[in-house]
Amino acid sequence: MDQTTGENSQAYQAKRDINVTNTGMDYNSVKQLCLDIIHDNFPKLQDVAMEQVNKNVLELAAELKGEIEKRKQSLSFDKLASPDVQAALNDALQGAARKGKKSDLNLLASLVSSRIDKGNSELLDITIEEAVKIVPKLTKSHINFLVIKHFVANMNLNIPNVTAQHLDQFAIPIAANYLPGSDLTEGHIRYLAGLGLLDYNPMFSHDIWDNKRETYKHLASDINGFKSVMSSSAPTMTRLLNSYEKNRLSGVSLNSFGQVIALTSMNRVFGNIDLKVWIK
């Protein structure tokens, strides 16, 4: 039998059985191939990556400029000389450089500007600093989840003669901006717990409907009546309450880091949230 093979190829010929013990590329060949690919492409990849890094940093700078301009009357610019503030800014820049628009650059900028707010307590300052480090590790859905949790569980309308319609108007911007994508799996919730944003224990939960009924007990004499009033006159708030139950939020408790991130994000909707009221 005759055979013809190409350059660097292997040929096997047998009248009966044949055992092939070495096929494909060996370790050294694979290693050399990887090194060749890196050597051929890395300089170009470095240039592309650095170009994107610069773009990401400039986008954060633009967001920060806008936030400072909006809040300049309440900021203490002397704090910019503080090593702690410069470290927080550096953390924000590194997070932006790595993630770009995958991270919430406006949220990062808002946190940095809040760090130089007048009258912050030491606790609020260190909480903001830690939140800056965490935000680049969050997706939009993670942030939405934190907002829905904090809004439904902790934010109430303190105005005279609150009606169900008032509650619905209160809920509409939150539902529009944060309800989509907020239904996390348990794995994602435990990831947020691992980041130190919340405690999660589904065995210790509460009934959010009972809580809201207690807060606005003048709207109905019992829980069934309250649900009926809310369903007919506050459909958006009802959606939020139902989502809260469905997504196991009653087993979640935000700590100060989770609260600061949720409140800072929510401030883009309400525009008048003072972190100093919440973190004391």
Higher pLDDT, 19 or 188: 188
pLDDT digit string, tens, across residues 179-225: 999 999 999 999 999 999 999 998 887 899 999 999 999 999 999 99
Give residues with Cβ within 8 angstroms of 116, minimum separation 6.
Answer: 75, 76, 77, 79, 80, 85
Please work out, in degrees rounded to the nearest 5, the angle formed at the alpha carbon of residue 267 by the alpha carbons of 54 and 172: 120
pLDDT digit string, tens, across residues 37-56: 656 665 665 666 677 778 88
What pTM value is reported for the model?
A: 0.82
Confidence (pLDDT) at 8: 54
Lowest-confidence region among 39-48, 68-77, 212-221, 268-277: 39-48
**β-sheet bridge partners, residue 254:** 198
Whether the CB-CB separation of 237 and 170 falls below 8 Å is answered with: yes
Lowest-confidence region among 53-62, 141-150, 194-203: 53-62
Confidence (pLDDT) at 194: 97
Mean pLDDT, residues 260-266 taken together = 97
Residue 49 vs residues 13, 54, 200: alpha-carbon distances, Å? 50, 9, 38
User: What whole-number distance in Å separates Cα of residue 83 and Cα of residue 187?
Assistant: 37
DSSP strands (E only) in 65-159: none
For 181-215, the three-class secondary structure string (H helix, E strand, C coil) is: CCCCCHHHHHHHHHCCCEEECCCCCCCHHHHHHHH
What is the separation, in whole angstroms, between the first and last Cα of the chain? 89
Whether the CB-CB separation of 36 and 28 falls below 8 Å is answered with: no
User: What whole-number distance in Å separates Cα of residue 184 and Cα of residue 195?
Assistant: 15
Give residues with Cβ within 8 angstroms of 191, minimum separation 6.
Answer: 142
Q: How is residue 37 written in tokens? A: 């690919």
